[in-house]
Amino acid sequence: MTYSNQTTQAIQKLHNLIEVVDQIVIGKKDITRFTLIAMLSSGHVLFEDIPGVGKTLLIKTISKCLEADFSRIQFTPDLIPSDIIGFSVPNLHDEQFEFREGPIFNQIILADEINRTSPRTQAAMLEAMSEKQVTLDGKTHQLPDPFFVLATQNPIDYEGTYPLPEAQLDRFLFQLSLGYPSLEQEVRMLESPEQLSAIEKLKPILSLSDFKALKERVKTIHVHKQLLEYIVSLADATRHHPAIRLGISPRGVQSCLAAARTQALLNEREYVIPQDILSIIKPLFRHRLLFENKLDKEDIDLFIDQLINQTPIPTKIRSEK
Residue 60 three-state SS: helix
Return the H-helix or E-strand segment holding 186. Answer: helix 183-191
Buried b (16+ CB within 10 A) or exposed e, 76-105: eeebebebbbbbeeeeeeeeeeeeeebbbb
Q: Would you state the pLDDT for residue 318?
A: 46
Helix, strand, coil % (nearest 5) of the chain? 50, 15, 35
pLDDT in the model for residue 321? 34
Yes or no: say if 44 and 258 are a contact pair by the CB < 8 Å rule.
Answer: no
Q: Which amino acid is at 266?
A: L
Spatial distance between the Cα atoms of 72 and 56, rounded to a whole number of angstroms: 9
Max distance between CA atoms of the chain, in angstroms, equals 70
SS3 12: helix
Residue 193: predicted pLDDT: 63
> How many angstroms separate the CA atoms of 141 and 102, rounded?
11
Q: Report the distance separating Cα 111 and Cα 58, nearest Å.
A: 13
Closest CA to 128 of 160, 77, 86: 86
Write out the chain's pLDDT in tens, 321 residues. 567 788 899 999 999 999 999 988 888 999 999 999 999 999 999 998 877 888 888 998 999 999 889 999 999 989 999 999 998 888 777 777 888 899 999 999 999 989 888 888 888 888 899 899 998 888 899 999 999 999 998 776 655 677 788 888 999 999 999 988 889 888 888 887 676 677 888 889 999 889 999 999 999 999 999 999 999 999 999 999 999 999 999 999 999 999 999 999 999 999 999 999 999 999 999 999 999 888 888 899 999 999 999 999 998 664 443
Long-range contacts of 292-298 (CB under 8 A, 24+ apart): 292/242, 292/243, 292/244, 292/245, 293/243, 297/177
Q: Domains in the chain and their CATH numbers?
A: 17-211 (3.40.50.300), 221-321 (1.10.8.80)
Model-level pTM greater than 0.85? yes
Cα–Cα dist 171/253, whole Å: 12
How far CA 42 is from CA of 35, 73, 291, in Å, comes to: 11, 20, 27
Decide if 125 contacts 172 (C-beta within 8 A).
no
Q: Specify the pLDDT at position 201.
A: 84
Q: Which residues contact 197 (CB under 8 A, 6 or more apart)?
A: none
| pLDDT of res. 53 | 82
CA atoms of 235 and 309, how far apart (whole Å): 14
